[in-house]
A and B are shown apart, each in its own frame.
Chain A
Amino acid sequence: MNPTGVATLTAERWRRMESVFHAALELEESARPDFVFRSCDGDAVLQEEVEQLLLAFHQARQIKSPPAFAGPQRGAFGEYRIDCEIGAGGMGTVYLAHRADGQFEQKAALKVVSAHLRSQFFAERFRTERQILAQLNHPNITRLLDGGVSADGDPYLVMEYVDGRPIHQFCDTQQLPVADRIRLLLPVCSAVEYAHRNLIVHRDLKPGNIFVTSEGVPKLLDFGTAKLLLAGATDSAATHFGLMTPRYASPEQLRGEPITTATDVYSLGVLLYELVTGAWPFGDPESPITGLERAVKDVEPARPSSVITDEAAHLRSESKSKLGRLLEGDLSSVLKKAIDMDPRRRYSSVEHFSGDLERYLRGEPVLARRQTLFYRSARFAQRNRWGMTAGVVLSAVLAFTALSALQQYGRNQQRMVQVRELSESYLTDVLNEVGKLPGSMKARLLIVDRARRNLDQLLAEAPGDSDLRHALAGAYLQLGDIQGRPFTVSVGDTAGALASYRKAEALTSDAGPRDWDLLAILVRARRTIAQIEIRAGEYPQAMTLLQSTLEPARRLAMEAPRDFKVDGSPAATAFVETNGMLGYAMLTSANTEYTLTAFERALAQFRRTVAMAEELQAAHPGMADLAGKYSQFVGFALEGLGDLTGDGKYFGESAIAHRRTVEGLCKSRESQPGPQWRRTCAEAWGELSWAFHNAGDGEQAIPAAGEALARMEKLAEEEPTSAEAQTDLTIACMHLGAAENSAGRYREAIGHLRTAESRMPPISQIPPNDPRGAVELYLNIYRELAKSLEETHDTAGAAKVLEKALAAAEGRSTVARWEIADLHRRLGRLSGQPTHRP
């Protein structure tokens, strides 16, 4: 009813309506009609509109929110009858139920699957998966009792009913202190770990899924239901999204990326963060803003000590300041590592996470803090470049190699045609693209894409043809190399590369015992897959894969024709390298696990590798000195044991191992052209001196460090512009100074250490992430320098150096807290002494 028939609202009238409406609301209700009448000044339309608005304002205020809506009534579920609803959510509705057949008086939680998931079910798959889950038997996981499809056609699951309360509520009611909260999470970790071993990722860990019984036993609800519910579902991102809780979801989950066990590590990390601080690491969990931001960009967690409140402290039976201190130290590092945005930097398994928590509870240093390990890992990574050709992979060359392999085996007429077409399209495309472009990246991408499509098609058409399989396996290998072989220049598509290598592996995994060509591809494929896994921190997988590669590699080395090559190297070399790579996986893993067993396992593997290499080198004159190469790794494993146990004997043994490298490998290789080998040898001398230094044998450390320095000086002269060469030179100076300290030649040490210091870039220029480990180098220099000064009775000078070290270290996230504490301790010790100059 619009009396004047004026059509649509105009901006002008809208503004007037608004101002009269607000002005009227300011007045007593009785005064409003008169005010509106006067304000509208004869504009009947406006007047009616404002009156309507005021009426609406009043009426709307009378309406109250309706009561909560109760779930729909459901039919019978096998032997179970529903008592009442106890929860609802993305996957369905949960009811309290009991057995209706009177056999047991058992309460159960019955979950009815949401309709949207139901439509995607495959009954068969559902049943199989359910059987697997029913076998999950862990004291902290609720059992899956039953499941099926109801009379109404709803799929349902019956779980053990837990009479308890969510873990965060339990902790707060009991006012559990931080340590007890961590202890309560340990069985939860063990349950998740158990499930991971059964290849089940929970994906939805959160307080609401972890109940604590009145006896204080935590129980994981819903384990595996996510996986079960997805059994038949299409693998779309939306389906995954429906089965997670953004508050505890990992960034990869929020982005719909592949989910691994690291996802559960993340959720456990957020959960622990909340248990110990009482706050969510990313701000207000209920604000849609924080939730959405986390989905689209990286958000750093807040420092645990910065988010606590008086109330949170009270609930943890602590004062706020005490709780703050508790959360400052190692615990904060553990949390940071568990909820790292990048799954590769997170704890690689729940076991490692809970291991660190146990170490924390025992008051031992946690792995998350052990920065020296990163330093050592970086050194391993450098050493591992040995023997890998770092040359640029030329796309065209590789593509044509793949083609010739295809043509060689393309015997049948039709396939021949196809192969020829393929080669012609390559020719045209490659020449066009490569000719046009300064870089060859785009050309490579083009080739990769085409090759993959064509090869997949060929494979589909001739699944049983063994020659073709061989050709295709070889081609997949090359394809993988272009996509992303580790340590080479490639397109950088690691996931694509992995898929290609896996195809190559699958095509050759049933190779006969003497089918040398296939075995060679198999060995090469598995080794490269393992390399990628090691890089991704998936050590157990890599170790398993490499173990399975040893036998085919051994057969190739021992039984294949003498000149048979694997990946361009003699088969004997490939066998030793496979053993070495297994050792490398063990050692990298040991670095993370940081246990005696892990280091000893790696040590044994490298010793085996060296022995094997010695034997093969004796039988194959002219073979590369792999015994020398892996001897250095024996040294690294020993140094790991030395660091771990604090026992100096390991460093002594390590020096012997490093000497083998210097004397064997370097002597045979140093004369090779190019700086790379000479640099490697200079580094090996440096490692030798460092081992002697750690063993306290200064007299032997000095000549080794001198050798390293002389070589590095020469290299730096040849490459005056190379920043790497300059850094190497600085490190060599530091090694020499440290060696002189060990020998008690403090004055000479001061000279070399001062030189090293003067060669360092200014601290202010070192970027926060410190990619070259410059701060660590600074600290090494200063620690040694403080020692030499103190020994020469220059206490004031030593204190000054330690202060400089502190200034360099403080505020650096790459420096471990214990290192700073150690510097403070040294400084404190110095200031307790009388200062007297010589």
Chain B
Amino acid sequence: MAFQELAPLVYPHLRQVAAAYLRREPSANTLQPTALVNELYLKLLQQRNADWSDRAHFFTFAAKMMRRILTDHARTAKADKRGADLPHVPLSDEMPWLNVNGDDVIDVNRALDELEKLDPRKVRLVELRYFLGCTVPESAALLEISTATAERDLTMVRSWLYAKLRLPGSLEPPL
């Protein structure tokens, strides 16, 4: 199933993505859970030859997949000009300014690509924490770092992303 077909499935759930979509308190009538997660399952299942015996490898891969899914989704929405009248939905409560329903995800994706060359561990951390919705201790354990280090790293990356996306021209290299 092409992602284009899946995108509409993703839309109604963006509110759920907001509150770290996997941790959301399921309300009585809500049809749980998100198609996003299902799409992730599907993508993981398609990795027929992968060896998931290494738990950390599996989850960092899953997190990376989730980042890709959300980025693709944002690109599709942009191309279809469907994003315009959608509400603002944050990627995570820790980054309420970061709107999943717009170009932010594409920009974050690009920034993370850049950061990948400098500090790949922080990129993994962002993926686990904000894209896959792991807790800080879970993310830290998977990356074999202390929770305190993970918190520090996240504070740094959050500020850096905000500066990159929201402060005028600040950290952009000259064109």
- Residues of chain A touching chain B, judged by Cβ–Cβ distance below 8 Å, are 1-2, 5, 7-11, 14, 18, 21-22, 25, 48-49, 52-57, 59-60, 63-66, 68-69, 86-94, 114-116, 119, 165-166, 169, 204, 206, 208, 236-239, 241-242, 244-247, 254-256, 286-289, 291-293, 295-297
Q: Which residues of A contact B12 (CB under 8 A)?
A: 88-90, 92-93, 114
Q: Could you say which of A10, A59, A247, A295 contacts B166, with CB atoms under 8 Å apart?
A: A59
Query: Which A-B residue pairs are the 10 nearest by beta carbons?
Result: A89-B31, A87-B29, A241-B38, A56-B163, A69-B87, A238-B1, A56-B162, A116-B8, A57-B159, A65-B96
Known: A241-B38, A256-B45. A247 touches B173 (CB 8 A): no
Q: Which residues of A contact B31 (CB under 8 A)?
A: 87-92, 94, 204, 208, 245
Instruction: Check B172–A2 contact: CB distance below 8 A.
Output: yes
10 extra A-B contacts, CB within 8 A, seeds A1-B169, A296-B58: A1-B170, A22-B156, A60-B162, A65-B18, A87-B29, A89-B32, A208-B29, A241-B38, A288-B22, A288-B132
Instruction: Check A115–B22 contact: CB distance below 8 A.
Output: no
Instruction: Check B41–A254 contact: CB distance below 8 A.
Output: yes
**B49 contacts chain A at the CB level, 8 A cutoff:** no
Point out which of B15, B35, B38, B174 has the most chain A C-beta atoms below 10 A from its C-beta.
Answer: B38
**Which residue from chain B places its CB closest to the CB of A168 in the assembled complex?**
B28
- A541–B26 CA distance with the chains assembled, in angstroms: 39
- A166–B29 CA distance with the chains assembled, in angstroms: 9
Instruction: Check B39–A241 contact: CB distance below 8 A.
Output: yes
Q: Which residues of A contact B33 (CB under 8 A)?
A: 89-90, 245-247
Instruction: Check A57–B155 contact: CB distance below 8 A.
Output: yes
Known: A11-B118, A296-B45, A296-B58. A21 touches B156 (CB 8 A): yes
**Which residue from chain A places its CB closest to the CB of B2 in the assembled complex?**
A238
Instruction: Check A66–B41 contact: CB distance below 8 A.
Output: no
**B9 contacts chain A at the CB level, 8 A cutoff:** yes
Q: Could you say which of A119, A242, A295 contacts B45, with CB atoms under 8 Å apart?
A: A295
**B110 contacts chain A at the CB level, 8 A cutoff:** no
- A165–B62 CA distance with the chains assembled, in angstroms: 35
Instruction: Check B134–A288 contact: CB distance below 8 A.
Output: yes
**Which residue from chain A places its CB closest to the CB of B5 in the assembled complex?**
A116
Q: How far in angstroms is the closest Cβ of chain B from A221?
A: 9
Known: A1-B170, A56-B167, A295-B45. A166 touches B118 (CB 8 A): no
- A90–B35 CA distance with the chains assembled, in angstroms: 6
Instruction: Check A292–B89 contact: CB distance below 8 A.
Output: no
Q: Which residues of B contact A297 (CB under 8 A)?
A: 52
Q: How far in angstroms is the closest Cβ of chain A from B130?
A: 12
Known: A25-B155, A247-B33. A238 touches B166 (CB 8 A): no
- A91–B96 CA distance with the chains assembled, in angstroms: 27
Q: Mark B1-36, 1 if CB is under 8 A from A, else 0.
A: 100011011011111001000110011111111110
- A52–B168 CA distance with the chains assembled, in angstroms: 10
Q: How far in angstroms is the closest Cβ of chain A from B141?
A: 10
Q: Can you list 15 contacts pairing A with B, beta carbon distance less than 8 Å?
A: A2-B171, A2-B174, A22-B152, A22-B156, A53-B156, A54-B159, A56-B167, A60-B158, A90-B9, A91-B31, A114-B9, A208-B26, A208-B29, A256-B42, A287-B138
**B40 contacts chain A at the CB level, 8 A cutoff:** yes
Instruction: Check A1–B6 contact: CB distance below 8 A.
Output: no
Known: A86-B29, A256-B42. A9 touches B118 (CB 8 A): yes
Instruction: Check B52–A296 contact: CB distance below 8 A.
Output: yes
B115-132 residues at the A interface, CB under 8 angstroms: 117-119, 132
**B102 contacts chain A at the CB level, 8 A cutoff:** no
Q: Which residues of B contact A60 (CB under 8 A)?
A: 95, 97, 158-159, 162, 166
Instruction: Check B22–A66 contact: CB distance below 8 A.
Output: no
Q: Which residues of B contact A236 (CB under 8 A)?
A: 1
Instruction: Check B158–A289 contact: CB distance below 8 A.
Output: no
Q: Could you say which of A14, A116, A238, A288 contacts B133, with CB atoms under 8 Å apart?
A: A288
Q: How many residues of B contact A (CB 8 A)?
A: 70
**Which residue from chain B places its CB closest to the CB of A6 in the assembled complex?**
B173
Known: A2-B172, A242-B9. A53 touches B87 (CB 8 A): no
- Residues of chain B touching chain A, judged by Cβ–Cβ distance below 8 Å, are 1, 5-6, 8-9, 11-15, 18, 22-23, 26-35, 37-42, 44-45, 52, 55, 58-59, 62, 87-90, 93, 95-97, 114, 117-119, 132-135, 138, 152, 155-156, 158-160, 162-163, 166-174
Instruction: Check A52–B58 contact: CB distance below 8 A.
Output: no
Q: How far in angstroms is the closest Cβ of chain A from B104?
A: 13
Q: Could you say which of B8, B22, B163 contacts A55, with CB atoms under 8 Å apart?
A: B163
Instruction: Check B173–A66 contact: CB distance below 8 A.
Output: no
Point out which of B30, B168, B169 has the most chain A C-beta atoms below 10 A from its C-beta.
Answer: B30
Q: Which residues of A contact B27 (CB under 8 A)?
A: 87
Instruction: Check A69–B22 contact: CB distance below 8 A.
Output: no
Q: Could you say which of B11, B37, B39, B114 contacts A291, with CB atoms under 8 Å apart?
A: B37
Q: Which residues of A contact B58 (CB under 8 A)?
A: 292-293, 296
Point out which of B23, B134, B160, B167 has the most chain A C-beta atoms below 10 A from its C-beta.
Answer: B160
Instruction: Check B8–A115 contact: CB distance below 8 A.
Output: yes
Q: Which residues of B contact A63 (CB under 8 A)?
A: 96-97
Instruction: Check A53–B163 contact: CB distance below 8 A.
Output: yes
Instruction: Check B88–A66 contact: CB distance below 8 A.
Output: yes
Instruction: Check B44–A292 contact: CB distance below 8 A.
Output: yes
Instruction: Check B42–A206 contact: CB distance below 8 A.
Output: no
Q: Which residues of A contact B159 (CB under 8 A)?
A: 21, 53-54, 56-57, 60
Q: Which residues of B contact A94 (CB under 8 A)?
A: 29, 31
Q: Which residues of B contact A1 (CB under 8 A)?
A: 168-170
Q: Could you say which of B42, B87, B138, B158 contacts A238, with CB atoms under 8 Å apart?
A: B42
Instruction: Check A246–B167 contact: CB distance below 8 A.
Output: no
- A238–B7 CA distance with the chains assembled, in angstroms: 12
- A60–B156 CA distance with the chains assembled, in angstroms: 12
Known: A1-B170, A14-B118, A94-B29. A295 touches B44 (CB 8 A): yes
**Which residue from chain A places its CB closest to the CB of B131 in the assembled complex?**
A288
- A53–B11 CA distance with the chains assembled, in angstroms: 32
Q: Could you say which of B34, B35, B134, B169 contacts A287, with CB atoms under 8 Å apart?
A: B134
Q: Could you say which of A52, A92, A114, A293 contacts B171, with CB atoms under 8 Å apart?
A: A52
- A832–B167 CA distance with the chains assembled, in angstroms: 85
Instruction: Check B156–A288 contact: CB distance below 8 A.
Output: no
Instruction: Check B15–A68 contact: CB distance below 8 A.
Output: yes
- A57–B163 CA distance with the chains assembled, in angstroms: 8
- A34–B58 CA distance with the chains assembled, in angstroms: 45
Instruction: Check A208–B156 contact: CB distance below 8 A.
Output: no
Instruction: Check A165–B32 contact: CB distance below 8 A.
Output: no
Q: Which residues of B contact A296 (CB under 8 A)?
A: 44-45, 52, 58
Q: How far in angstroms is the closest Cβ of chain A from B80?
A: 12
**Which residue from chain A places its CB closest to the CB of B117 in the assembled complex?**
A11
- A710–B1 CA distance with the chains assembled, in angstroms: 66
Instruction: Check B163–A52 contact: CB distance below 8 A.
Output: yes
- A256–B43 CA distance with the chains assembled, in angstroms: 12
- A244–B62 CA distance with the chains assembled, in angstroms: 20
Known: A1-B169, A208-B28. A292 touches B40 (CB 8 A): yes
- A209–B93 CA distance with the chains assembled, in angstroms: 28
- A660–B114 CA distance with the chains assembled, in angstroms: 83
Instruction: Check A2–B163 contact: CB distance below 8 A.
Output: no
Q: Which residues of B contact A66 (CB under 8 A)?
A: 87-90, 96
Q: How far in angstroms is the closest Cβ of chain B from A124?
A: 22
Known: A14-B118, A89-B30, A247-B33. A292 touches B18 (CB 8 A): no
Q: How far in angstroms is the closest Cβ of chain B from A71?
A: 8
Q: Which residues of B contact A246 (CB under 8 A)?
A: 33, 37-38, 41
Point out which of A2, A52, A293 has the most chain B C-beta atoms below 10 A from its C-beta.
Answer: A52
**Which residue from chain A places its CB closest to the CB of B97 in the assembled complex?**
A63
Q: Which residues of A contact B158 (CB under 8 A)?
A: 57, 60
- A92–B59 CA distance with the chains assembled, in angstroms: 29
- A165–B26 CA distance with the chains assembled, in angstroms: 13
Q: How far in angstroms is the closest Cβ of chain A from B57?
A: 12
Q: Which residues of A contact B45 (CB under 8 A)?
A: 237, 255-256, 295-296
- A22–B5 CA distance with the chains assembled, in angstroms: 44
- A632–B96 CA distance with the chains assembled, in angstroms: 74
Q: How far in angstroms is the closest Cβ of chain A from B8?
A: 4
Q: Which residues of A contact B38 (CB under 8 A)?
A: 90, 238, 241-242, 244, 246
